[in-house]
Amino acid sequence: MTRNARFRELLKSPPFVCLGAHDAITAKLAEEAGAKAIYVSGFAASAIVAGQPDVGVLTQTEMFEHIRRICRVTKVPVFADADTGYGGILDVQRTMRLWEEAGASVLHLEDQAVPKKCGHFAGKQLVSKEEMQQKLRAMLAARSDPDFFIVARTDAIAVTGLDDAIARLEAYAEVGADGLYADAPESVEQMQELVRRLTPLGKPILFNMARTGKSPYLSLDEVYKLGFDYALCPIEPMLAMHKAVKEMMERFMREGSTSAIADRLTPFEEFNRFVGLEQAVGVEARYESGKEA
């Protein structure tokens, strides 16, 4: 079964979380921890690749390479942020082809205007509902594997309100989007209304569990009981990394000794096992001995 097909199988037995991975190492860690799917966030990519906020600074090809590096080291389905599709109709179609080439199995396309912003930032602007429908039609036509899952995302809640967000998702479902996602609902009541009005469309509904954003802090079970099928935990691994490395570096600079930070470090041998040193040495040895067959 392909990774694309496996993602669709996951949706038959909800709920599950797409755990954020901001690089190849965190993708391997996510899979080792038991994640059934991995999420590649544009917010995290902007920070990791460019050291900048999520305000549309990454190019299409920079994001493509970032996704591809993550897909190479994991076997679970990868859900990759596609922002606004990086332009017009032709750009959206190229994004679709590149995300497939990178190895992703799922993406979400959002209805923000360029330059886009993180869904939990102020100052977002939207394209028209009709323009987003055109982009979705173009993207659906460009995918080579019908099992690739395309999620329509709206950022309308903070801009034009909940009713418009729901109307937009209804229109996006009408043109064939596989899944629906309203980013940054601000209360449980808004979440309940989203589910009540979107469930009859028969499309899986996604919730973003990002902590410190605008949405309520709910567990996966609580989200599922409200009627959402699956969730993203998109940036928490990156925030954990930032806190841990920041504190380690500050302590080292204060005390000037690796002894001061030894309890915060994975042992060298353990890390080498994790990244596959033993297997790499074994491959070299087989070929050098002439026993590769």
Q: Residues with catalytic annotation?
A: 39, 54, 81, 83, 108, 110, 118, 153, 186, 208
- CB atoms near residue 207 (< 10 Å): 28
Q: What is the rounded distance in angstroms from the CA atom of residue 33 to the CA atom of residue 19?
A: 10
Closest by CA position to 45, among listed 25, 30, 62, 26: 62
Closest by CA position to 24, among listed 131, 102, 114: 102
Q: What is the rounded distance in angstroms from the CA atom of residue 62 to the CA atom of residue 69?
A: 11
Residue 129: in which H helix or E strand, if any? Answer: helix 129-142
- Across-strand partners of 230? 206
DSSP labels for 170-227? HHHHHTT-SEEEE----SHHHHHHHHHHHGGG---EEEE--TTSSS----HHHHHHHT
Instruction: State how beta strands 78-81 and 106-110 pair.
Output: parallel
Q: Which two tokens stand for residue 63?
A: 């994001």
Q: What is the rounded distance in angstroms from the CA atom of residue 273 to the CA atom of residue 138?
A: 44
Q: Which residues contact 26 (CB under 8 A, 6 or more apart)?
A: 20, 237, 238, 241
In contact, 199 and 227? CB cutoff 8 Å? yes
